[in-house]
Amino acid sequence: MTKRILIISGGISKERLISLDTGLQVAKELKKNGYKVKITEPNSDLSSNIKGFKPDVVFNALHGQFGEDGYIQTILEGFKIPYTHSGVLASSIAMDKEISKKFFRKFKIKTPNSILYSFDKKKKDLLDLINKKLKFPVVVKPKNEGSSVNVFICTRKNIMNILKKMQFYRQVMIEEFIAGREIQVAIMGNKKLGLIELKPKRKFYDYEAKYDIKAETKHIIPVKLPKNKLKEVLNIALKAHKIIKCRGISRSDFKFYNNKFYLLEINTQPGMTKLSLVPEIAAHQGISFINLIKWILKDAAKKK
C-alpha cells in the first residue's frame, strides 16, 4: 500500500522560505518514488488536513521558532501520529542556546563562553562585563533562532547599535568569538554519518553564506584532519546527540581552533535543500537523497 506522507512546511519563523524549499524538495522525491504526499502549513487547517488525509507519517519540514522548538511537536503528540526528527523535549533544549550550552558544559563538551542579555533589564556595565568574561570581538545572536538568522560579529564600537536593532527579541546571547575552521557533523540515529568543512567568503557562516549561491561558500568533503581529530569530533557530535536525546538526524556545528573543537549548537531539523549539508554528507557516504528521506520516515514510524 502506498505510504501517505503529510509534509508540514512554511510557518511563521524567519526561516519560512527555507522551510518551504525543504518541503517542496522532499515532496518531489517522495512523489517520484510512489508515495502519496500532501503539503500543509502549520495553521488552522492542520487539524483537518491530518484528520482528512490520514497520513502514516508526518514529515516535519519546519525550521526555526514553532517548528523545531517543541511547539509543533507538542501538537503532533496530541494527534498520536508518528512525526520525523526529535521529540518535544530534545527540540526545545536544542533550540534554546542557553539551555543547550548548560548541557554541553555539564557533560564536558567545549562550547564558547557566553552571557545572556535581557532587554527588560538595564545593563549599565555591559561593556565592562563583556571585557571581563568574554573579550571583544563577540558574537551576538538570538537565544532561539536557527540558520544563523540575525547573528552578528560585534566590536566594542558597534555592539550597542546592533543590540538596539535586536530589541524585538526578549533576550539575546552574547558569545565569545572563536576563530578557526567551520566543521559540521551529521548524526543519523546512533550512526556517525560524517562531516563537512565550510569555507565562507563572508566573515563567517551566516544566513547568506548558507543559502545564497552568490555567497560562494566552499564545501570541503572529505575534511582534512588527522584521524584522531576526525574520530574526536564525530564522537563529540554523537555524545551531544545522545545527551539531548535527539531522534533521527541531527547536525552539530563546530569551530576548530588551536587543535580544539568548540560546539556552537546542535540542529535537530537540518535543512533538505539543494545547499543543505546533511544530504551532501549522506551522498558522500553513498546514501541517496531519497534513501535518506526513507530512513528518516522509517525512523519516525518506529516511534508509533
- Among 52, 53, 41, which Cα is nearest to 4's? 53
Contact 112, 86 (CB under 8 A): no
Whether 187 and 250 have beta carbons less than 8 Å apart is answered as yes
CATH class assigned to 114-176: alpha beta
Q: Please report, for the chain, the start and end positions of each structural domain, with discontinuous segments joined by +.
A: 4-85, 93-110+180-301, 114-176
What's residue 131's pLDDT? 85
Q: The cell 545547499 sits on which residue?
A: 275
Dist CA 75 CA 96 (whole Å): 19
Q: What is the pLDDT along the chain (304 residues), one digit of tens a residue?
A: 469 999 999 988 878 888 999 999 999 999 999 999 999 999 888 999 999 999 999 999 998 888 888 899 999 999 999 999 999 999 999 999 999 999 999 999 999 999 988 877 666 678 888 888 898 899 998 887 754 567 889 888 888 888 888 877 788 899 999 999 999 999 999 999 999 999 987 555 444 444 444 457 889 999 999 999 999 999 999 999 999 999 999 999 999 999 999 999 999 999 887 778 999 999 999 999 999 999 999 999 886 5
Torsion of CA 96, 213, 223, 84, to 10 degrees: 40
Predicted pLDDT of residue 263: 97
Specify the pLDDT at position 91.
94
Half-sphere exposure for 199 (CA within 13 Å, toward CB):
6
Spatial separation of the C-alpha atoms in residues 61 and 164, rounded to whole Å: 32
- pLDDT (0 to 100) of residue 189: 93
The pLDDT of residue 67 is 86
> Catalytic positions, please?
15, 147, 211, 251, 253, 265, 267, 271
Taking alpha carbons only, the member of 121, 70, 133, 61 closest to residue 100 is 70
HSE-up of residue 93 (Cα within 13 Å, Cβ side)? 18
User: How is domain 4-85 classified at the CATH fold level?
Assistant: Rossmann fold (3.40.50)
Question: Is domain 93-110+180-301 classified as CATH 3.30.300.30?
Answer: no
Q: Which amino acid is at 279?
A: P
Cβ atoms within 10 Å, residue 88: 16
